[in-house]
Amino acid sequence: MTENKLAIDFGNSNTVLALWNEALQTTETISLPEFSDGSDFLIPSLIHYESDGNQLIGNQIISRNLLSSPHTFRWMKRYISLRSPYQIQIGNMRINAQQAAEDFLNALKLAATDTYTFQSDEITLSVPIESFEYYQNWLMSLTDRHHAERIRIVDEASAAAAGYGEKVHPGEVFLLFDFGGSTMQTAITIAEESEGSGNRFCRILGKAGCSIGGAVIDRWIYEEVCRENGLSPHQPEVIQNSCTLLSLCEKVKQQLSAQESVEYAFTLSNKRTITNLFTRKKLENILSENQLVESVHRLVKDAVMQAADHGYPVESIKKVIPVGGSCLIPMIQKTLIDQFGIEKMAFGEPMGAVARGAACFAGGLEIFDFIQHEYAVRYRNPANGAYAFHTIIKRRTRYPTLEPISTLTIKAAFDQQSLLGLAIYEISSQSSFPSGHFEIMFNENGEVRIFPTEQEENDSHLFYWMNEQTPSFLVANPPAAKGEARFSVEFEIDSNKMLLISAFDLKNGEKVFSRFPVIRLT
């Protein structure tokens, strides 16, 4: 059986596939001409459902002018990450983002299987740094439905760092700045070689991320186009043409990366034509008003401070590597150059690095990573009766762990207690969105709607109960007495970020669980 392996960088705007070539020990991005425009490996992250049950993918939708169709699903990754309830109606069926994304990814895998030779029972997928367990669990749930015995995940910043590995010498520290369609992420990584083996691995020194991506910038431009033409995003004639107008705004953004101004023209459904000159200076003013540069500085500073805690100050960074289409925006490039100097910038091929790095991971490249969030067990403080948290996994804990990293003793809360357990919480930092953040959504007709995001919603994941459905999983036989120390529990983390629990019954001396997977960490 061939050992070539497939990796997929599922993006909000575009998706890229790459293969690990076992014979050559290299990675390569692969092209699916029927879904891309035929000239490169970028596949628009779009799926369209036809009335006869057929599906169109990527550029097939754009070439048929179906982008604005209510039967076209876009921004699947962002909707899943936001846990959005948005659905489209196809006959008697309602399709949500998870189903659309699954159909999209399955179509890509089948097309790749027809064209390329690889080990089809294993797929590697990249995930954003700040993705929560439900997004990663959704990816892992594709295993059975995609006929894969194993789905591996690697975070996008780590993958991109590995994707540029051939450009970085062992021992060099570099900063990876990944600004794609749905997220902004940064990682500071050192490339190393294992003693004697010559095998390359990446060690993550610091990383940070937030949910500001190219799609957010498109929405800012969309609002400005409406404003300068005396329109409101909520007017019926704007809503009816909103999807196509938003696509126009994306093209304006892309063109302004290469030229100083763009003249646009657009005809609304009421026959009114809007036209104007959009300059790079105007775009930069919009980015400044929305504090984009401050967001870049905040993420970079966070990652730099983490690396410094590991003994690598900012001066040790040899190269800065921008990845993702939004890194082509001149203002973003200038921000990075001003911060690190032009001599440290390493401009390579920005769009395929994540997929290539994920393919390296599939081929056996070791990525020594760490957990982004803190995890704790909730308990009731006997002194005052209030809930409190005991940390079991510290933020930045490296994984996989080679031995148990924390131990707890579980006591019975009442007499004759036969079921005991743990309430495990993920504790994360506050959202990186600036104040006054708005979210853009599509309604069931494929029309754009803009909604404010309340601060309470931004902060809703500060304490997230990870095992709410199954908090009690330890069976005491015979039942425990109140206050009895009944179980000793050890915690480990495997290479796929699974929290493993080993449990010992202290009454009868038996091991009831050995490295039992409980939740997936992020």
- Of 3.10.20.30, 3.20.20.70, 3.30.420.40, 3.30.530.20, the CATH number of 167-347 is 3.30.420.40
SS3 assignment, position 356? helix
* pLDDT of 132 strictly over 70: no
Contact 19, 362 (CB under 8 A): no
Q: What is the pLDDT of residues 389-405, one digit of tens each?
A: 889 998 778 888 888 99
Please tell me whether the overall predicted TM-score, pTM, comes out greater than 0.75 for this model: no
Domain 5-164+350-368, what architecture? Answer: 2-Layer Sandwich (3.30)
DSSP string, 397-435: -EES-SS--EEEEEE-SSTTEEEEE-EEEEE-PPP-PPT
Instruction: Kindly list the strands in the beta sheet with 72-74, ordered across the sheet, starting from the edge strand earlier in the chain.
Output: 55-57, 46-49, 72-74
Separation of alpha carbons 434 and 294, rounded Å: 9
Domain 5-164+350-368 and domain 374-430+463-520, same fold? Reply is: no
Reported as a pLDDT band with limits 50, 70 and 90, residue 442 is: very low
Q: What is the pLDDT of residues 11-63, one digit of tens each?
A: 888 999 999 888 888 888 999 999 987 668 999 999 999 988 899 999 999 99
Reported as a pLDDT band with limits 50, 70 and 90, residue 261 is: very high
Query: 374-430+463-520 has which CATH code?
Result: 2.60.34.10
Tell me the percentage of the chain whose pLDDT exceeds 90.
30
Contact 50, 362 (CB under 8 A): no
The count of other CB atoms within 10 Å of the CB of residue 206 is 24
Separation of alpha carbons 376 and 491, rounded Å: 12
pLDDT in the model for residue 448: 47
pLDDT in the model for residue 260: 95
User: What are the sequence ranges of the domains in the chain?
Assistant: 5-164+350-368, 167-347, 374-430+463-520
Where are the strands (E) in 156-247, listed by range?
A: 173-179, 184-193, 200-210
Closest CA to 204 of 318, 357, 370: 370
* pLDDT of 226 strictly over 50: yes
pLDDT in the model for residue 193: 57
Structure tokens at 499: 């929290």
Separation of alpha carbons 30 and 88, rounded Å: 31
Section 136-163 average pLDDT = 72
